[in-house]
Amino acid sequence: GAPARRAPVRATVTVDAAVLAANDALHAAACERSDARYRPSAPLVAYAGEWERFCFPASPEAYAGVDAVPPCPFTAVDLACVSTRPLLSAEQCAVFLADAQDVAASAWDLPAAAAGAEATYARRAGTTVEVSQLPRGRELFNAAVLPALFPAVVAAFPDALGDVPPARLRVQAAFVVKYNASAGQTELGYHRDGPLVTATCALNCPSEFDGGGTLIEAKDWPRSPAPIRLARGHALLHPGNVRHGGAPITSGLRFVLVVFMYDSRTTDHARHCTVRAQARLDGALREQRGSAQRRAALAAAARGFHDALACGAGDRSEAAHVGLGHAFLELASYDGAAALAAALDNLEAAVVRAPADAHAHTMLSTACLAAGLTARALEAASAAVEADPASPIARNNRGLILAALGRSADALRAYADGLRLDPSNAELLVNFGVSAYDLGETATAVRCFRAALDSDPTHARAATNLAQLQLGGA
Ligand SMILES: O=C(O)CCC(=O)C(=O)O
Ligand SMILES: [Fe+2]
């Protein structure tokens, strides 16, 4: 029978009917887009194999994050499933690989999950190409992949999706991800995919690369997850919003076919509200600081994230709390203490939901510093570094907190750690320069500001600081 532990299903009555109607319209448009590109063009075929299952953490106390509880409609045994029979033949994999090789280098793009991420992370990320851009792959996808994949998805999650006819599934996105060790495009950081279910299919053999595989954050908890390395043609299925990533390869090439799927019958209100609010927040952050437009856009973003939370987004992801916290943090420069307190509440809620999300910890530390909570700020900044030791942004942020605490020498070390990861990062160079100056090392400071301007000639703080030191005769 179905395990008892399940995410609560939220009533959406507190959300304006117009918002729900807008979500339904977005959902309908998404289904139409899906139908135009990706539709099974042959009869569906039942999946004849078994599934190797991975469960949500047995003790939710041990893993405090959202992934301690299966997201509705999934159950405790639905963290991830690996096929015991291939879904794609070697020949079918070869078609995708040949297409992927023929597609112009310019067609490859950074994955959506990396698009909003910091530049250095994005540089390490694998690149993607949409299946709809692959002339032979697109045909094959509709003629053979979807007819096998839709029934397999339902079969893999019988408790959760047993009532969903496979033909009701739709594709939000389908793309080939290419990891290339010699190009430094080796991994994909932890993230959540939007829609109901994600399928990741291996297109080449694990002998063609070292490392790699899919990391499911809550798998093997409290140990760090062993990567799931699929044999060619095999599929990994998991709820889309389970936190996961692509483990770094250390040599060779790794190709996977990734498909995001959802039920055409169900509008995902939490997701649509979150996506809409995030777009508003991104827009607000582009408005002039201090302007009325910025304030209005931030308030609209906050309302959107509120709606998302009212639809249950907080039960599934940290994203709405991070977004709401970010919006309130920015609103604090207009509205003062009440907004700052709301920012802190939401960012604390976010790190509870995603204890290994460096971005959430970094946002929290910034808010704590603004509120004068320096000890908590440093704790959160250190948690961000621990969550993502390869992130120069997390190192930079920790340096800023240490500098604000008057610990210039410690700040300098934090920036130096960041610069080892990203030697030409202008922000790190400027901040290193400032702390060096605070420690009386003016010549070093001048060198750092110059180096920052070399790598980013538009860096205003580097230019101002350099001019000031040169005026001072340094
Ligand atoms: O490379 C993998 O195994 C994961 C890919 C992934 O998570 C994605 O493309 O969204
Ligand atoms: Fe993903």
273 and 258 in one domain?
no
353-367: average pLDDT: 92
Q: 3-state class of 473 per DSSP?
A: coil
The pLDDT of residue 4:
45
Q: pLDDT at position 11, please?
A: 53
Of all protein residues, the one whose alpha carbon is nearest to atom 7 of ligand 1 is 245
Question: What are the C-alpha distances in Å from 77 to residues 42, 83, 95, 201, 269?
Answer: 31, 15, 34, 20, 25
Residue nearest to atom 2 of ligand 1 (CA): 246
Residue 315 lies in a domain: yes
Q: How far apart are CA 179 and CA 176, in angstroms?
A: 10
Separation of CA 377 and ligand 2 centre (Å): 30
Cα(214)–Cα(225) distance, integer angstroms: 9
For the chain, how many structural domains are there in total? 2
pLDDT of residue 417: 96
Of 49-63, 280-294, 338-352, give the lowest mean pLDDT range: 49-63
Is residue 238 within 8 A of residue 259, CB to CB? The reply is: no
Same domain, 301 and 207: no
Backbone φ and ψ of 171, nearest 5°: -110, 120
Closest ligand 1 atom number to CA of residue 128: 9
Q: Chain-wide mean pLDDT for the chain?
A: 91
Q: For residue 414, give every residue at least 6 positions away whose Cβ sits within 8 Å of its Cβ, in sequence order, or none.
A: 395, 396, 398, 399, 402
Given 212, 245, 263, the domain boundary residue is 263
Lowest mean pLDDT among 105-119, 170-184, 209-223: 105-119
What whole-number distance in Å separates Cα of residue 153 and Cα of residue 168? Answer: 11
- On whether the CB atoms of residues 335 and 341 are closer than 8 A, the answer is no
Q: Which atom of ligand 1 is nearest to the CA of 175?
A: 9
Domain that holds residue 70: 38-263
Q: Are 242 and 331 in a shared domain?
A: no
Ligand 2: centre distance to CA 420 (Å): 28
Tens-digit pLDDT profile for residues 376-390: 999 999 999 998 888
Residue nearest atom 4 in ligand 1 by C-alpha distance: 246
Q: Are residues 13 and 52 in the same domain?
A: no
Residues 160 and 235 in one domain: yes
Residues 137 and 185 placed together within one structural domain of the fold? yes
Give the model's confidence band at 473: pLDDT under 50 very low, under 70 low, under 90 confident, else very high. low
User: Quick check: CB of 92 below 6 Å from ligand 1?
Assistant: no
Among protein residues, the one whose CA lies closest to atom 3 of ligand 1 = 214
User: At residue 316, what is the residue type?
Assistant: R
Buried b / exposed e along 356-393 (16+ C-beta atoms within 10 A): bbbbbbbbbbbbbbebebbebbbebbbbbbebbebbbb
pLDDT reported for residue 92: 97
Whether residue 58 sits in one domain with residue 205: yes
- The answer, yes or no, to whether any atom of ligand 1 lies below 6 A from the CB of 177, is yes
Assess if residue 378 is contained within a domain: no
Instruction: Among 263, 295, 317, identify where a domain stops.
Output: 263
State pLDDT tens for residues 2-37: 444 555 555 545 889 999 999 999 999 999 999 999
Q: What is the CATH number of the domain that holds 218?
A: 2.60.120.620
ipTM of this predicted structure? 0.99
51 domain-assigned: yes
Question: Residues 6 or more apart from 18 whose CB is under 8 A from it?
Answer: none
Residues 175 and 287 in one domain: no
Same domain, 241 and 331: no
Q: What is the pLDDT of residues 129-164, one digit of tens each?
A: 999 999 999 999 999 999 999 999 999 999 999 999
| Residues 22, 60 share a domain | no
Establish if 326 belongs to a structural domain.
yes
Instruction: Please give the pLDDT value at position 474.
Output: 47
Domain boundary pick from 231, 263, 295:
263
**Quick check: CB of 465 below 6 Å from ligand 1?**
no
| Alpha carbons 245 and 187: distance in angstroms, whole number | 8
> What is the predicted pLDDT for the residue at 2?
40
